[in-house]
Amino acid sequence: MLTQALAHNGLIAILRGLRPDEAAAIGEVLYGAGFRVIEVPLNSPEPYESIRILRSTLPADCLIGAGTVLTPEQVEQVKAAGGQVIVMPHSDPKVLRAAKAAGLYLSPGVATPTEAFAALAEGAHVLKMFPAEQMGPAVVKAWLAVLPTGTVLVPVGGITPDNMAVFVEAGVKGFGLGSGLFKPGLTADEVAVRAKAYVAAWNALN
């Protein structure tokens, strides 16, 4: 279902710093703009509560995940809150195995081909290329030439509506969007404007 959600819209919303009291409103505008994967990093205020709220208020075709997942214990807490996707800055096999055993989708962070192949061997569904601004589209192209056909690479870090084209041309199927889309203090209306700009840029390229 994760790859289906990304096929509908390859943009993943990363809501670092989201508070539970704004989760429903922010989630609603993102869903309305076309987002189908929303991630709450665990270093946000009360992240499990925000995950619960998003999961209970948004339609079933929108996957809710947790980012910055660092331990197997956190995987269990994410699942208990209703989260469906485990996003990591790294590729710790212990965390990947815990997520797989819990029946959750796996999106580990990778920065080298060695990490990418190791993550795929552990059952990763989507590879988070992080930090994208240090790697660039040339790296995407080189990786996709050797990784298994159908591997989904999602650059994260420094992605704007204006720089997505070069990555899409290199073969990426999605992006993780952080502070360019949401940062603490933005209203739901402000997030909606940013979301629509990203979706318009994505749709123009796909």
The CATH number for 154's domain is 3.20.20.70
Write out pLDDT tens, residues 55-110.
999 999 999 999 999 999 999 999 999 999 999 999 999 999 999 999 999 999 99
Percent of the chain, pLDDT > 70?
Answer: 100
Domain extent, residue 38, equals 1-204
Contact 19, 181 (CB under 8 A): no
pLDDT of residue 3: 87
pLDDT of residue 38: 98
pLDDT of residue 119: 97
Mean pLDDT of 192-198: 98
Q: Can 169 be counted among the known catalytic residues? A: no
Spot the catalytic one: 39, 79, 122, 173: 39
Q: Can 128 be counted among the known catalytic residues? A: yes
pTM: 0.96
Tokens of 139: 């790296």
Instruction: Count each helix (H run) and each strand (E run) in the chain, helices first.
Output: 9, 9
Write out pLDDT tens, residues 107-153.
999 999 999 999 999 999 999 998 898 889 999 999 999 999 999 99
Write out pLDDT tens, residues 146-192.
999 999 999 999 999 999 999 999 999 999 999 999 999 999 999 99
Spot the catalytic one: 22, 128, 133, 169: 128
pLDDT of residue 192: 98
Contact 67, 105 (CB under 8 A): no
Domain count of the fold of the chain: 1
For 57, 64, 70, 126, the CA distances from 48, given in Å and listed in that order, are 14, 11, 14, 22
